[in-house]
Amino acid sequence: MKIFLNSDKILKAAIVIMLSLVFFFPAAQISAENINGEETELANVNIDEDNAQNEVELSADEIINKRDDNEYIITAYLEAQMIIKSGGREQIKEMRVWQDQTNALAEFTNPRDRGTKFLKRGDDLWMFFPEAEDLVKISGHMLEQGMMGSDFSYQDMLESDKLTDLYDFELLAVEDYQGRPAYKLEGVKVPGKEVSYYRRVVWIDKERFVGLKEELYTESGRLLKELTLIEMAEIDDRWYPVHSIMENKLRQNTSTEFILKEIVFDAELPEGIFTLQRLR
């Protein structure tokens, strides 16, 4: 299905995907709200009632798995925008992405970065610079740097496993977050797993199973980054993030917004899309 979001109202996480299947079926009903519950406009908007609140409390893993079920994808094609703010300056970068469960190809389309591409194949990440016609494998300390100057690291791109495979989660509380009933959970890295952040504190909407906020910590307890949901959209009876902002807490006056503009779920990917030859 192809979904067009009204960019005047929706500006978006976590390489996060929100979709539904239409093809020859009737168009999906889509609605959106900001985190305070105020309605926002999307193309072809209809407002539905929330799902009833669960009467039976779920375990921590069940809560995380329900969020993963909303956001985990098999294949997808998307077009997105990043707004990078740093030191009073603003950069806008646009991209299109082809993705399956373990691989992704991202191509930047804004004039300044047009032709720059990233290829993720399993645990490997490659970058192509069109001006230099240079192909570079990103590894080691380079993975900790911000992707294209954003607050999302290259290492963030490499984490495609479900969170319950990477972290041991504990339910800390059920509380109100910005007017929404929310589960508050803590996840600590599973021994032997390679992750970007040792510990996560996550707020998940109790009714919609959308991540509302994440705090990302080092093993020593230092807060590294904070990911906050601004708006969510409903697509075929499921809710998804459509506007989020990442803040790097180690730097001042910096943030990155991610805006999902168009998406195709269960996309038929071109043959050979995830090869090094496709980068050039």
Distance CA 117, CA 108 (A): 6
Distance CA 273, CA 203 (A): 35
Name the average pLDDT for the chain. 80
Contact 65, 162 (CB under 8 A): yes
Question: What does the pLDDT read at residue 244?
Answer: 92
Residue 231 has pLDDT above 80, yes or no: yes
Name the superfamily (CATH) of residues 60-265.
Answer: Lipoprotein localisation LolA/LolB/LppX (2.50.20.10)
Alpha-carbon torsion (202, 205, 211, 215), positive or negative: negative
- Can you give the C-alpha Rg of the chain in angstroms? 18
Distance CA 262, CA 19 (A): 10
* Strand, helix or coil for residue 139: coil
Q: What share of the chain is helix, strand, coil (3-state, %, to 5)?
A: 15, 45, 40
Question: What does the pLDDT read at residue 237?
Answer: 67
If we measure between CA atoms, which residue out of 158, 151, 159, 157 comes closest to residue 249?
Answer: 151
Contact 94, 78 (CB under 8 A): no
Q: Could you tell me what percent of the chain has a pLDDT over 90?
A: 51
Rounded mean pLDDT, 252-258: 92
Grade residue 86 by pLDDT with cuts at 50, 70 and 90: very high
Contact 104, 121 (CB under 8 A): no
End-to-end CA distance of the chain: 29
Q: Name the amino acid, one letter, at 258.
A: F
Distance CA 15, CA 98 (A): 11
Q: Of the ranges 103-107, 120-124, 226-230, which one carries the lowest mean pLDDT score?
A: 120-124
Structure tokens at 189: 């890295």
Question: What does the pLDDT read at residue 5?
Answer: 43
Alpha carbon dihedral 34, 40, 44, 46, in 10-degree steps, equals 80
Residue range 64-81, pLDDT digits in tens: 999 988 877 789 898 999
Q: Which residues contact 103 (CB under 8 A, 6 or more apart)?
A: 119, 120, 121, 122, 274
Contact 229, 243 (CB under 8 A): yes
Task: Using a cut of 0.85, tell me whether the model's pTM lies above it.
Answer: no
